[in-house]
Amino acid sequence: MSFPKLSRRVSLAVIGSLFAVAAHAHEPRPGPNGGWKVDAGAWHAELVADGTTTVVVHLFDAGDRPVSAEGWSANAILLVDGAAQRFDLAPDADGRLTGTAAVAVPKDVKGAIQLAAPDGTTAQAKY
C-alpha cells in the first residue's frame, strides 16, 4: 500500500530538485572576447555581437578552456527590435561558430543559441 505514496513523494522531490537546479543556471557574465558568456549544458558559450549582422559564438568547457567548434552545429534565435531572427551558425576555420543575421545585431541582444555537439548532445544557451 505504501508503494504508490512513496513513489508520489519521490516524484515530487525529483521534480522539485529539477526546478531548484533550473533556477540557478544561466547567469550572463562578460567573456574574454567582449561578449556575454553563459552556461550551456556542460559547456560555456560566449556570444559576440558587434552591431553588424555577423554573430560569433566561442565555446568553452566547464573549466573555461576554449573548445574547438569543429563538428558542432548550432542555430540562433535572437530578438532584434521586437522580432525573432533565426539563423544557423557554422564552425569556421578559427574553431568558432559564426553566422549571419538578416539585420544588425546589437551587443546586448536577447536570445538563445541551440547547440549540438559532435556526439549528438544538445545544449541551449540563453542570453
Partner 1 sequence: MRLLWGVVTALIFALAGAANAHEGHDHGAPPPPVSTTIAPRVEAASTTFEAVVVARGTEMQVFIDSFATNEPVTGAAVEIDTPTGILAGTETEPGVYAFAAPWVASPGSYDLAITVIADAGFDVLVGSLTIPAPPAPPVVEASTAEVLAASVLGDLRARLSARDVSLAVVGGLGLLIGVVMMLVLRRPRRSGGAKVAAIFFAVVAAAPEPGKAEVAVANAALPAPATATRDVAQRFPDGGLFVPKGTQRVLGIRTLLTVNEKHGRRIELPGRVIPDPNASGYIQASLEGRLVAPEGGFPQLGSVVKAGQLVAIVEPTIGAVDLADRQQQIREIEQQLELVTKRLERGRQLSNAIAKTEIEELEIEQESLIAQRDALMSLTDISESLIAPVEGVIAAGQAIAGQIASPGVTVYEIVDPDRFWVEALSYRSETLGTEAVAVFADGTTVDLAYQGTGLADQGQAVPVRFSVVGQAEGLRAGQLLRVIAATPADQEGIVVPRDAVLRGANGQLVVYIKTNAERFVQREVRVEPLDGDTVLVVAGLEPGLRVVAEGAELLNQIR
Sites of contact with partner 1 (CB under 8 A): 3-4, 7-9, 11-13, 15-16, 18-20, 22-23, 26, 75, 77-79, 82-84, 86, 110-112, 114, 122-127
Task: Kindly state the smallest distance separating residue 73's Cβ from partner 1, in Å.
Answer: 13
Q: DSSP code of 108?
A: T
> CB of 55: closest distance to partner 1 in angstroms?
14
Our CB check for partner 1 shows the closer of 94 and 102 to be 102
Sign of CA dihedral 54, 39, 78, 70: positive
Q: Which is nearer to partner 1, 7 or 52 (CB)?
A: 7
Tell me the residue type at 56. V
Q: How far apart are CA 127 and CA 112, in angstroms?
A: 6
Q: Which three cell numbers stand for residue 66?
A: 576554449
Q: Which of 90, 89, 126 is nearest to 109 (CA)?
A: 126
